[in-house]
Amino acid sequence: MKNNQPVLLVEDDVVDAMTVSRSFRELSIGNEVIHRINGVEALEYLKDTDRPPCLILLDINMPKMNGIEFLERVKRSEGHRRIPVVVLTTSNDQRDKLEAYNLGVAGYMLKPVDYRQFVSVVKDIDRYWTVSELPS
């Protein structure tokens, strides 16, 4: 990414979370991945941290607070609404996509099952958010 701030991964599936971390390592992406398993814990992290993330990777289908609800809260927050959010999900549902974009996501990628394709998706995200400026 453009800067060294951490990347917040909001993902309830432990295997997918490990795949993201593994992809970051394989691609030598220097940003630390901060993993939270649902929207509630992710909001708590944002509230308490002195190291705000430069990017949020967000799953949609999670227990307790799903991705759309998290997105609504984050985008209402003056302090956090600038952080670009990229959805990384298995949901191909048209309503989820429309809702996510209406709430201001800066990307929406489907999670591939195949690991190499997954790495390719993470690479696309890293390349774009390395060329793009980020709010600091």
Told to check if 54 binds other proteins by CB under 8 A, we report no
Backbone φ and ψ of 41, nearest 5°: -70, -35
Who contacts 107 (Cβ-Cβ below 8 Å, separation ≥6)? 84, 86, 87, 125, 128
- Assigned token pair, 55: 């990017």
In the list 15, 92, 114, 116, the residue contacting other proteins (rule: CB under 8 A) is 92
Contact between 28 and other proteins (CB under 8 A)? no
Decide whether 6 or 112 has the Cβ nearer to other proteins.
112
What distance lies between CA 43 and its chain's CA centroid? 13
Q: If binding is defined by CB under 8 A, does position 114 make contact with other proteins?
A: no
Whole-angstrom CA distances from 59 to 50, 92, 109 are 23, 12, 10
Select 50 or 95, whichever has its Cβ closest to other proteins: 95
- Total residues binding other proteins (CB under 8 A): 29
> Is 81 a residue that touches other proteins (CB under 8 A)?
yes
Task: Figure out which of the listed residues 27, 73, 75, 77 binds other proteins, where binding follows CB under 8 A.
Answer: 75
Decide: helix, strand or coil at residue 91.
coil
The residue (of 101 and 115) whose beta carbon lies closer to other proteins is 101
| Min separation Cβ 3 and other proteins, Å | 11
Q: Is 85 helix (H, G, I), strand (E, B) or coil?
A: strand
CA 13, chain centre distance (Å): 13
Q: Which residues bind other proteins (CB under 8 A)?
A: 75, 81-84, 92, 94, 97-98, 101-102, 104-110, 121, 124-125, 127-128, 131-136
